[in-house]
A and B are shown apart, each in its own frame.
Chain A
Amino acid sequence: MMASYSHPYIPNSLDRVRREMLRYIGVESIDELYASIPEDLRFKGRMNLPKPFPSEYELVRHVRGILSKNKSCEDYLCFMGGGTWPHYIPVVCDDIARRSEFLTAYAGDPCEDHGRWQALFEFQSLMAELVDMDVVTVPIYSWGHAAGTSMRMAYRINGRRKILIPSTISPERYLVVSNYVDPALTLEKVGYDEETGMMDLDDLEEKISDDVAAVYYENPSYLGFIETRGKKICDMAHDGGALCLVGVDPSSLGALEPPSHYGADIVVGDLQPLGNHMNFGGGLAGFLATKDEVEFVREIPYRIFGLTKTSQRGEYGFGDVLFERTSFERREKAKEFVGTATALYGIVAAVYLSLMGPRGIYELGKTILQRSKYAIQVLSEIEGITAPRFKAPHFKEFVVSFNGKSVAEINRELLKDGIFGGIDLRDSFPELGNSSLYCVTEIHTKEDIDRLASSLERILVR
């Protein structure tokens, strides 16, 4: 590609400039600059890549052509959650997320990237209020990863190697956590009460022992019920000398108690519900919160930004707190590892919480409770449907069991009505039979829920 004009992304592809630069360096060709790469290592062939679209217009046409094969949750009515949830995203969140400076910044220092440090410090501070804990870190990859870290932290704190987890844990998250804690720790599942879905406390009692580092559970659970005995579980963990770790959906925390109020030592969860798009599951960002105690803070592997002074009186500055914890500083001797993760999603969550404020976040929790309750009520009136499967209060999600047609069949029929039905639990929770996990949030109106109900009614009698 010798050009009398340059590629728009590569200014120095211009032949005249290239020659000038080569002359300055003192070589004849760019090839000479690769002299340290032995000939026999060089790739001599052609990469079999499609013919490119040099014009922006053609590129847009091409990519949009492929994307048009997707049906989105704007095209269809979506009742799926299970770790990525449909929520309304305030326009200001998108506006800030698209802002060039936030979007294209990276690893700048506290002075010239001051705004990035402050935004992430504010994220930590706002989340701290939501979960009512003193320490929150810069966000990490996902809830699952943060949960894995909370377990490894427990092990480093008390030296024990077993983690008790609920059988109702999200199957995706279970796979992440299992791989993350291996080989240092073992996971043992605690059974659940068949009627309520909640943790079987007798089973828990039996399994808590000297080698249990922590009890981890999720509230609301993956299956949507609220674990009402959170305090009891944390007390039992503490009585056994173990820590209590709780995963939480932050969109519930305006209405529901934060786990710190019932005894959690470390709280984790995902920021996707706080202003981040679903992105085919790519909207995840894990958060981790804990107490301001040295034995906890020094075991955190992630970056933590702290407010501090500068050389100018009265000016706020920021810096890394206890940087020596991290792999940037200590390589293999660090606490786990840290790297590029999900900072921008954390900044978006900060904008979201700033917009919502205490009233907004309360009303969000309340309206989700109301709408999911309404959906449960309407669906439970349909013959052939049991909803919810568990006798417990629910938040956002609930299990629906069907008689007759399989969930797969029902979902295929719903699709024809423009509806994405709930998540099929056949493989992940076979003991629940022909069941499906439905999700209702603030985006679902009464008309939407009624439309689902009448579709299901029609499908089930057909």
Chain B
Amino acid sequence: MGLAKLRRDFHEARWEEPIIFELSNEGERGIITPKDEKIERIVGDGISELPSSIVRKKLPNLPELSQKRVLMHYLRLSQEILGADVNIDIGQGTCTMKYSPKVNELLVQSPKVSEIHPYQSEETVQGALEIMYKLDLFLREISGLDRFVFQPGGGSQAIFAIASIIRAYYKSRGEERDEIITTIFSHPSDAAAPAVKGFKVITVYPDSETGIPDAEALRGAISSRTAGFIVTNPKDTGIFNPRIKEFTNIVHKAGGLCAYDQANANGILGIVRAKECGFDIGFFNLHKTFSSPHGSGGPAVGALGVKKELENFLPVPIVDYDESREMRRYYLNYNLPSTIGKVREFYGVFPVVLRAYAWIMSLGEGGIKEVAKIAVLNNNYVMYKILREVRDADISYPANRHRIEQVRYTWKNLREKTGVTTEDVINRMYDFGFHLRTSHHPWIIPEPFTIEPTESYSKEELDEYIEGLKEVVREAYEEPEMVKRSPHRSSIHRVDTSWLNDPSKWAVTWRLYLRKHRNGDSN
């Protein structure tokens, strides 16, 4: 155990790697496609007898590269990323950047996972179905809900499934309810996905002192049109709403359903459950809380759980077990009379399901609770460190110091005193090999930043990160211009955003870049 050492001479890889099209060399091949000459002798080229209207006349303008060049290019790009495996990734708050155990990668690489087809007969995929069935049972224990499916391909798609279920539920009852209530510190998709499903969305704001959603505001929003209430708890501020049972009671009394966005579940696993808080439906992000890696933004799973009364509305199929003597096997059950249909083809991202299963099996009951407790310990340790040792950093809602697994902080004071903004601090943190992120819009908290330490980092690593914050604050006072020009040791320099909202300039593909900025000249 040594002193936390700040990496003052850190420099991220900087390859100045061209866009892949610029590397093209006519005639080079990255891979050879299998060719069957025996078949060709029998059926011909397969193309000349097609109607010419459907045959591609000109080959696509893809680059031509040797295999090593392709490999080298993408490896270099990978080095220009601060992946969670290579940094103390506590600064991407709300994202639960915990350790994704490598052993689980070994498991998903098995052909028994990667090379199975979704329409194989059930007897040939009993292993996969067993994993899905058992993970459902595990999540029932962890949430108190009665049935899980893994079809949604991420948290936002799970929210969309929830909105779909709420809509189908009231339709089946002949009730016209078209309003969804959420809170401002719930994920943006908690508001956006229900709107796609035709709901009017009402957003409740927190009490300005405590950061706890205002029960009176909820009462004010409730009516006979209320279909549902969709929230995170703890909120994205890290504040747990202690009156959540009262909230769900208010919604239930008005005849609405309560949905739990469990994106922030990491600090409360085994401590508080959806059921006891009065939720009817909810989801976990298996790619966050349950350790499946984030994949640069997916593939992912929003594991969707419901109480018994809503089971019939789930997307099909669910996985069941037939105990009758002749069968004794797992099967896909499509027999849900009120199903919303599907939100994604097939049954979900099985490798993500498998990793979550393996993660739970590596920890067990005690281990899962330990994960939550250490995530909370780490978070509170970091919060007090920041409050005591990082000048001009403050927590949001400072009157309330109760935080669970993350904290939304503010650089309001730093900005007022030095002119250095949260964006500036974030950019400078890269120079020491750290991530830091602000928050989703709108910025209720001025100059926000959000830290979620998870259970995965040691005290020394947390200390190193805080040394980074302290150093940047010192620099904000002593060399504010240097901070404002940062990063200096990242893969690239600060991005000019002026093209990004201008239709005549935006270049979302290489061909558009050539056309708009190089007069069509491809070098």
> How far does the alpha carbon of A123 sit from the alpha carbon of B411 in the complex, in Å?
36
Chain A residue contacts of B116, Cβ below 8 A: 70-73, 278-280
Q: Which residues of B contact A63 (CB under 8 A)?
A: 107, 131, 354, 357-358, 361
Q: With A and B bound together, what is the CA distance between A310 and B426 in angstroms?
A: 17
Asked whether A341 lies within 8 Å of B298 as measured between CB atoms, the reply is: yes
Is the CB of B6 closer than 8 A to any CB of chain A? no
Q: Within 8 Å of chain A (Cβ to Cβ): is B409?
A: no
Residue B412 CB within 8 A of the other chain: no
CB-CB under 8 A from B325, the residues of chain A are: none
Cα-based distance from A109 to B426 in the complex (angstroms):
9
B482 within 8 A of A: no
Asked, given contacts A70-B124, A256-B54, whether A115 binds B78 with beta carbons under 8 Å apart, the answer is yes
**Closest A residue to B23 using CB positions:** A354
Least distance between A400 CB and chain B CB atoms (Å): 15
Residues of A within 8 A of B509 (CB): 121, 124-125, 128, 134-136
Known: A47-B368, A183-B198, A359-B29. Is A336-B192 also a contact (CB below 8 A)?
yes
- Residue among A70, A305, A354 making CB contact with B126, cutoff 8 Å: A70
Q: Which of A40, A71, A357 has the most CB of B within 10 A?
A: A357
Given contacts A25-B381, A374-B39, contact A357 B361 (CB under 8 A): no
Given contacts A125-B511, A141-B344, A340-B155, whether A105 and B83 have CB atoms under 8 Å apart is: yes
Cross-chain contact A310 with B493 (CB below 8 angstroms) = yes
**Are the C-beta atoms of B490 and A105 separated by less than 8 Å?**
no
CA distance A124 to B167 in the complex (A): 35
CA distance A11 to B457 in the complex (A): 6
Q: A340 → chain B, closest Cβ, in Å?
A: 4
Which one of A115, A138, A308, A333 lies within 8 Å of B80 (CB-CB)? A115
CB-CB under 8 A from B155, the residues of chain A are 339-340
Q: Would you call A310 and B494 a contact (CB within 8 A)?
A: yes
B270 within 8 A of A: yes
A129 to B358, CA, bound (A): 40
Q: Would you call B520 an interface residue if the criterion is a C-beta within 8 Å of the partner chain's C-beta atoms?
A: no
Whether B333 is near chain A, meaning CB under 8 Å from some CB there, is: no
Note all chain B residues with C-beta closer than 8 A to A18. 374, 377
Whether A21 touches B40, Cβ cut-off 8 Å, given contacts A76-B124, A354-B62, is: no
Chain B hits for A445, CB < 8 A: 34, 36
- Distance in angstroms from A83 CB to nearest chain B CB is 5
* Cross-chain contact B42 with A179 (CB below 8 angstroms): no
How far, in whole Å, are A179 and B475 apart by their CA atoms in the complex? 53
Contact A102–B380 (Cβ < 8 Å): no
Docked CA distance A461–B343 (Å): 42
> A residues within 8 A CB of B296?
102-103, 105-106, 116, 119-120, 343-344, 347
Residue contact B86 to A101, C-beta cutoff 8 Å: yes
Asked if A167 is an interface residue, CB under 8 A from chain B, the answer is no
Measured in the bound complex, the distance between the Cα atoms of B113 and A280 in whole Å is 7
Q: Which residue of B lies closest to A95 (CB)?
A: B71
Q: How far is the CB of B47 from chain A (nearest CB, A)?
A: 6
Contact check: which of A40, A76, A100, A284 meets B85 at CB < 8 Å?
A100
Task: Contact check, A132 vs B60: say whether CB atoms are below 8 A apart.
Answer: yes
Distance in Å: Cβ of A263 to nearest Cβ of chain B: 12
Contact check, B491 vs A446: say whether CB atoms are below 8 A apart.
no
Is B221 in the interface zone, CB < 8 Å from A?
A: no
- A71 and B193 contacting across the interface, CB-CB below 8 Å: no
Contact check, B371 vs A308: say whether CB atoms are below 8 A apart. Answer: no
Partner pick for A308 among B21, B28, B197, B507, CB 8 A cutoff: B507
Within 8 A of B (CB), among A111-127: 111-116, 118-122, 124-126
Q: Which residues of A contact B195 (CB under 8 A)?
A: 332-334, 337
Given the complex, which residues of B lie within 8 Å of A228, measured CB to CB?
51, 53-54
Q: Is B496 an interface residue (CB 8 A)?
A: yes
Q: Which residues of A contact B242 (CB under 8 A)?
A: 36-38, 41
Asked if residues A304 and B299 are in contact (CB atoms below 8 Å), the reply is no
Chain A positions within 8 Å of B81 at CB level: 101-102, 105, 108, 112-116
Of the candidates A9, A284, A365, the one whose C-beta lies within 8 Å of that of B101 is: A9
Instruction: List B311-344 residues whose CB lies under 8 Å from chain A.
Output: 315-316, 340-344
Residues of chain A lying within 8 A (CB to CB) of residue B164: 179, 182
Is B346 in contact with A118, judged by CB distance below 8 angstroms?
no
A234 smallest CB distance to B (angstroms): 12
Neighbour of A110 across the interface among B276, B298, B495, CB < 8 A: B495
How many whole Å from A177's CB to the nearest CB in chain B? 9
Interface core residue of A46, A120, A179 (most chain B CB under 10 Å): A179
* Contact status A358-B493, CB under 8 Å: no
* A322 contacts chain B at the CB level, 8 A cutoff: yes
Chain B hits for A455, CB < 8 A:
none
Confirm or deny: B3 has a beta carbon within 8 angstroms of a beta carbon on chain A: no
Closest residue of chain B to A149 (Cβ to Cβ) is: B196
> Quick check: B103 and A9 within 8 Å, CB to CB?
no
Report the minimal beta-carbon distance from A321 to chain B, rounded to whole angstroms.
5
Tell whether A312 is near chain B: CB-to-CB under 8 Å. Answer: yes
Task: Tell me which of A17, A184, A366 contacts B198 (CB under 8 A).
Answer: A184
Task: Take A1-B370, A374-B39 as given contacts and tell me if A257 and B53 are in contact as well, using a CB distance cutoff of 8 Å.
Answer: yes
Chain B interface size, under 10 / 10 to 19 / 20 to 34 / 35 or more: 35 or more
- A 256-267 to B, binary, CB cutoff 8 A, 1 in contact else 0: 111001100000
Cβ-defined partner of A256 (8 Å) among B56, B348, B485, B494: B56
Please name all residues of chain B whose beta carbon is closer than 8 Å to the beta carbon of A22 when the two chains form the complex: 377
A168 at the interface (CB under 8 A from B): no
Contacts of B83 in A (CB 8 A): 100-105
Q: A9-B99, A172-B342 are in contact. Are A105 and B82 (CB under 8 A)?
A: yes
CA distance in complex: A51, B363 (Å): 8
Residues 133-172 of B at the A interface (beta carbon under 8 Å) = 138, 141-142, 144, 153-157, 159-160, 164, 167
- The distance in angstroms between the C-alpha atoms of A370 and B354, with both chains bound, is 37
Given contacts A319-B500, A343-B295, contact A415 B377 (CB under 8 A): no
- In the complex, what residues of A have CB within 8 A of residue B426's CB? 109
Docked pose: A334 CA to B196 CA in angstroms: 9
* Residue of B51, B70, B271 ringed by the most chain A CB atoms within 10 A: B70
Q: Determine whether B297 belongs to the interface, using a CB cutoff of 8 Å to chain A.
A: yes
The answer on a CB contact under 8 Å between B458 and A12 is: yes
Q: Is B473 an interface residue (CB 8 A)?
A: no
* Cβ of B105 under 8 Å from chain A: yes
A197 within 8 A of B: no
The proximity string for B residues 491-523 relative to A, scoring 1 for CB distances below 8 Å and 0 otherwise, is 111111111110100111111110000000000
Contact with A along B267-301 (1 / 0, CB 8 A): 01011110011000000010100010111111110
Chain B residue nearest in CB terms to A66? B127
Distance in Å from the Cβ of A441 to the closest Cβ of chain B?
Answer: 10
Tell me the complex Cα distance, A306–B127, Å: 43
Chain B residues with Cβ below 8 Å from A317 are 492-493, 495-496
Chain A residues, Cβ within 8 Å of B497:
308, 319
- Give the nearest-CB partner of B199 in chain A: A332
* CB atoms of B20 and A122 under 8 A apart: yes
- A240 in the interface (beta carbon within 8 A): no
In the complex, the answer to whether A84 meets B118 with C-beta atoms within 8 Å is yes
A216 at the interface (CB under 8 A from B): no
Closest 9 CB pairs of A and B: A281-B346, A339-B156, A52-B364, A281-B118, A355-B30, A343-B297, A327-B192, A115-B80, A36-B402
Beyond known contacts A82-B119, A101-B85: 8 more, CB 8 A cutoff: A27-B380, A37-B404, A109-B427, A175-B316, A341-B299, A345-B299, A362-B56, A367-B46
A-B contact pairs, 9 of them (CB 8 A): A36-B239, A36-B404, A69-B127, A114-B490, A284-B345, A307-B510, A316-B19, A339-B187, A423-B119
